[in-house]
Structure 1
Amino acid sequence: MKNIIFLALFCWLGMTWAVAQNAEDEKAVKATISKMQDLWNKHDINAYNGLHTEDATLVNPEGVFCANKTEIVKMHLAANEAYFKFTSLVIDIQKMRFVSPEVALVNVKYNITMTGEATMADGTKANKGDKHSVAILHVLVKKNGTWQISATQVTIIQAPAK
């Protein structure tokens, strides 16, 4: 009987620890996403890119594949000079799930408002006040206790064809 009670207590403590750890990690991942939004809105692209792992990958809405952090930084700096600097961003977390204690999949919606006029990557003109949304899947990994972006896939959200 003592063994059964000990085993039940051990299992209960293990589950309690796992739930507490998951809540702590969820809070940390949310903080990373919030930091992304803040850095974007400050147009601190170097700090924004600092949230990526060295081997991070990114596929942008045009299908351009960046194979590492160096390529992501180059693309983000060029985009900031052209149009990112004329935007403000609100990130809405749609869903988050942990596939392991060190890997989180985070579906987000970037709600972007143009703060000035710019020519977008596809050549279209964007006017001040225009609003755009993109759906993004971020894969975050926990390295040395810090959650970092390891992979990103961006999809433009378009209204259904009429």
Structure 2
Amino acid sequence: MSSIPAAADTAAITAVLDRLADAWSRGDGDAYGALFTPDATYVTYVGTLYIGAKEIGDAHQALFDSFVKGTRLASETVGIRLAGPGTALVVTRGDTYKGRPGKLHKIQTYTLVRQADGDWKIAAFQNTKHQAVMEAISFRFQPASKPAAHAL
């Protein structure tokens, strides 16, 4: 059964996401990867699967040095809930940007786990690009498929 986390857990979990955005902004793959568990899974919006903190950090360093160089992360937390003792599920909307942030075109799901030392780390990440046109077509032809959380 899931529940709303205590304020201290919410603050600690949010701090992990803030450190993730900071590492991205600095183009620091080591710091980015360090926020994940050694066996973490990371699925990009194009379907690439990375496994483990080291691979996640190394791959992101290559991206920071090329395709996403100079970008920042914009993120808005949709919700945080506990799935059990020491496990949190977080849904965010976000995107990368240069200059000023624009519309948030992606939806992310994070699974964070509390470590033995009390710190939270990311154990799983899934990033999905929102396909607004396809979604609108689906809802038009099958209105019953429209979720209550459509505003996401």
What TM-score bracket applies, with the shorter chain setting the length?
0.7 to 0.9
Contact kept, 8 Å, 2:36 with 2:52, in 1: the verdict is no
Moved more, 105-114 or 137-146: 105-114
Corresponding letter in the other structure for 1:88 = R
Q: Does 2:125 match 1:141?
A: no
Q: Any idea what the Cα deviations from partners look like across 1:136-161, whole Å, max 9, x if unmatched?
A: 10110000200101100111123314
Structure 1, unpaired ranges of 5+: 1-18, 116-127
Number of residue pairs the alignment of both structures matches: 131
Contact kept, 8 Å, 2:27 with 2:61, in 1: the verdict is no
- The equivalent residue for 1:91 is 75
Corresponding letter in the other structure for 1:152 = F
CA distance in 1, matches of 2:105, 2:29: 19
- The equivalent residue for 1:72 is 56
Q: Percent identity?
A: 30
Q: Any idea what the Cα deviations from partners look like across 1:34-90, whole Å, max 9, x if unmatched?
A: 121222122222111111111111111111111222321232122112222231222
Give 3-state SS (helix, strand or coil) of 1:107's partner: strand
TM-score under structure 1 length normalisation:
0.71
Q: Which has the larger radius of gyration?
A: 1
Name the CA shift for 1:23/1:132 in 2 (closer, same or farther; >3 Å).
closer
- The equivalent residue for 2:41 is 57
Contact kept, 8 Å, 1:96 with 1:107, in 2: the verdict is yes
Corresponding letter in the other structure for 2:25 = N
Corresponding letter in the other structure for 2:114 = K
- The equivalent residue for 1:43 is 27
Give 3-state SS (helix, strand or coil) of 1:37's partner: helix
1:98 Cα deviation after fit = 0.4
CA distance in 2, matches of 1:139, 1:75: 20
CA distance in 2, matches of 1:55, 1:129: 32
CA distance in 2, matches of 1:132, 1:79: 20
4+ runs deviating over 4 angstroms: 128-132
Moved more, 48-57 or 82-91: 82-91
Give 3-state SS (helix, strand or coil) of 1:84's partner: coil
Name the CA shift for 1:78/1:95 in 2 (closer, same or farther; >3 Å).
same
